Every structure is written in C-alpha cells, then in structure tokens.
Amino acid sequence: MTEITLIEAITQALAYEMQLDDDVVVLGEDIGTNGGVFRATLGLLQKFGPDRVMDTPLAESMIAGAAIGMASQGLKPVAEFQFVGFIYPALDQIFSHAARMRNRTRGRLSCPMVARAPYGGGIHAPEHHSESPEAMFAHVPGLKVVIPSSPARAYGLLLAAIRDPDPVIYLEPSRIYRLVKQEVPNDGKALPIGRCFVSREGQDVTLISWGASLHETNKAADSLAKEGVRAEVIDVATISPLDIDTLLTSVEKTGRCVIIHEAPRTGGFGSEIAAQITDKALLSLLAPVQRVTGYDITMPYPKMEHHYLPTEDRIVDAVRTTLEYK
C-alpha cells in the first residue's frame, strides 16, 4: 500500500465518496481546473465533470449560500474556502442558516454540507491565511467542528463529515498537509465524529491537543519519556461535539493535565476543556490545568511564526511545572 500525505488523503476521501454517492458535489474558488490552492481537489473535475466539480466566483457568502441551498434539496455539497481567514463573509450564511436549518424547520429539513478550509499557521503566509478560529465555530449550536491531525484521521473523518446529516466545519491544518505520510486504505471506512482518540497511553500526565499541534505534543511526549515521565496523549479530533468522557477518564487516571493548541489563549477552546475538567474532575487533579497556546495577537508574519506556535520545549516546560506542583 502506498503511503500518502494528509492532503492526498483528503483527495482520496472526496473521490471515494463522489464515486459512491452521486449526490456529493464539490464547489469553491479554483477547485476545478486548478485543483484548489493546495491541490486537494486535483483530478476530480476530469473524473466527475463540471456538474459535480464547480468553480465559483470569489464570493464566500455565495459559496456558503449555494451549498446550503443544495443541501436543503437533497445534495451533499462539500464547499472549499481557500483559507479559513477568508470564510468570514460566509459566516452569516453558516451561522444564521446552515447551523439553524434543522431547528428552524423542526426537523423537516437538515443541512448535510461540509465547509472545508485550510487553517492555522506555519506556512509563512499573511495573517489571513494563518488563523485558528475553531472556538468561534464550536460556540455555535448546530455545527460540528472537526480537525484532523494525520492522513488516516483526515480520510476517515472527512468521509464521516460528508455522510453526516448536519453541517460540519472541517478545518485542515495546512502546515501538516505534506509533513508526514501514512498508509491509508481506500476502504471507505469512516472514523466517528465526536470521539477523542488516545494516541499514546501513559500514567503521569495527560496531554490534550488537536490538529497540527499534536505533532509537537507527541515530540514532547517522546522527550518526557527519556526523563521517565509517561505522558498520555489525546487527539481531540472533534471540537464540537466534545468527547469529554475520554478526557475525564484520562485526567482521573493521571491527575495532571496540559492542553496544547495554537489558537490565541484568551477564549481558546482549551479554556472550555480546562473548565469542564475542573467542573467534573476537580478532586482528581493533583495540580492546576496548564495551557500551552498561541498568544493574544494576530499571527506574526512571517519569520516570527515559530515564536508564536506551541513548541516541544514549551510543552515540556508546562509538564514540568505541573509535575513540580505541591
């Protein structure tokens, strides 16, 4: 089996589901002839034709509105937004209509659409290409928010997102699009939305992360292992709905917790996780929950990115702090 990158896994999942289900269509800026800005849709136009692979004008509100209309009438649109920083003109459509469709119609209609967008820093691009607004989407009832961390997770979670009867925000960490390769069977097996994955078992501290930051988290776990610290690493994968039970089970075992994400610290989704752990597992904690995050500034461009993003050293330092707490 050939190893593929995360971006190739996305292409593979799109092609599989389009082959399986004629109702699946893709649309977005430059996704047809050019295959998308990161080439996630490369080859789909040639395989499935212009009726199912649609280039759109540079109008994000229109892309979202068209996708919502398609979804309400039985299609399963996958809308690509070139970068998550460009999705803001579409938020009225997504928040006011896609997220509310099932509730507004009392279940008569649903909105089975996926909004895909590259997100996060690390690619040395201007700030509108490097944002991490996952907490904003997670705050809106009616939206599911999914963030893959590897090729295998990208494939399985995208299949699940397309098959979901309600709208899914599918955020793709652009700096790991081609970072690693994995063998990913093209077998059509979806991974569950709303489930955390225990990537590494441990006894001493729980490390919670998602998306690209999981790679630095795993590196930190490797470094800590050399010091005799056994870290349990959890990939949240779905920000909303949050699988808090898996997180609580781990924290109740280890007694210590560090949350890692690259979004700004204030109002970041790590705050919600920390709050729920404190609410539900306070008596299991041996130390305050630590957070390793981005800063409350716009992503610095471009050479300062490495100072902004969580690093292996910052994660290790946070773990040492929680281990030393008396």
Helix (H, G, I), strand (E, B) or coil at 257: strand
Evaluate if residue 301 carries a pLDDT over 90. Answer: no
CATH of the domain at 227: 3.40.50.920
Domain endpoint, select from 132, 150, 183: 183
221 near 231, Cβ under 8 Å? yes
Residues 160 and 201 in one domain: no
Residues 266 and 211 in one domain: yes
Evaluate if residue 72 carries a pLDDT over 80. Answer: yes
Residues 145 and 219 in one domain: no
Longest dimension (CA), the chain: 64
Please state, for a pLDDT cut of 90, what percent of the chain lies above it. Answer: 95
pLDDT on residue 326: 79
pLDDT on residue 302: 78
Evaluate if residue 286 carries a pLDDT over 80. Answer: yes
Domain-located, residue 192: no
Residues 268 and 291 in one domain: yes
Please state, for a pLDDT cut of 70, what percent of the chain lies above it. Answer: 100
267 near 86, Cβ under 8 Å? no
Residues 171 and 225 in one domain: no
Domain-located, residue 281: yes
E-state strands within the chain: 3-4, 24-28, 53-55, 76-80, 114-119, 144-146, 168-173, 182-183, 197-200, 205-209, 231-235, 238-240, 257-264, 290-294
Residues 9 and 134 in one domain: yes
Evaluate if residue 1 carries a pLDDT over 80. Answer: no
- pLDDT tens digit string along 85-122? 999 999 999 999 999 999 999 999 999 999 999 999 99
Ordered DSSP codes for 110-126 = ----EEEEEESS-S---
Domain-located, residue 189: no
- Classify burial at 82, counting beta carbons within 10 Å of its beta carbon; exposed 0-12, middle 13-18, buried 19 or more: buried
* Arithmetic mean of pLDDT over the chain: 97
Domain-located, residue 191: no
Residues 37 and 172 in one domain: yes
* Cβ neighbours around 152 below 10 Å, total: 17
Kindly report the length of the chain.
326
Residues 105 and 34 in one domain: yes
- pLDDT tens digit string along 199-225? 999 999 999 999 999 999 999 999 999
pLDDT on residue 33: 94
The CA-to-CA distance between both ends of the chain, in Å, stands at 50
Q: Residue 65 pairs with which residues in a beta bridge?
A: none
Number of domains the chain is built from: 2
For residues 297-325, give the mean pLDDT: 93
The answer to whether the peptide bond before residue 167 is cis (omega within 30 degrees of 0) is no
CA–CA separation, 260 and 318 (whole Å): 10
> Structural domain of residue 296, as residue ranges?
197-324
Domain-located, residue 92: yes
pLDDT on residue 42: 97
Evaluate if residue 127 carries a pLDDT over 80. Answer: no
Domain-located, residue 190: no
pLDDT on residue 77: 98
Residues 97 and 170 in one domain: yes
pLDDT band (50, 70, 90) for residue 324: very high
Residue written as token pair 């099932």: 102
pLDDT on residue 125: 87
Please name which of 83, 85, 121, 84 lies closest in space to residue 307, comparing C-alpha atoms: 121
Domain endpoint, select from 183, 217, 236: 183
Residues 120 and 174 in one domain: yes
Residues 8 and 131 in one domain: yes
- pLDDT tens digit string along 229-266? 999 999 999 999 999 999 999 999 999 999 999 999 99
pLDDT on residue 128: 82
Residues 128 and 249 in one domain: no
Domain-located, residue 242: yes
CA–CA separation, 76 and 111 (whole Å): 8
Domain-located, residue 251: yes
CATH of the domain at 116: 3.40.50.970
pLDDT on residue 224: 98
Angle between helices 151-163 and 6-20 (to 10 degrees): 30
- Residues annotated as catalytic are 129
Measured over the CA atoms of residue 309, residue 311, residue 316 and residue 320, the dihedral's sign is negative
Side-chain-facing half-sphere of 195: CA atoms under 13 Å: 12
Domain endpoint, select from 150, 183, 216: 183
CA–CA separation, 205 and 317 (whole Å): 13
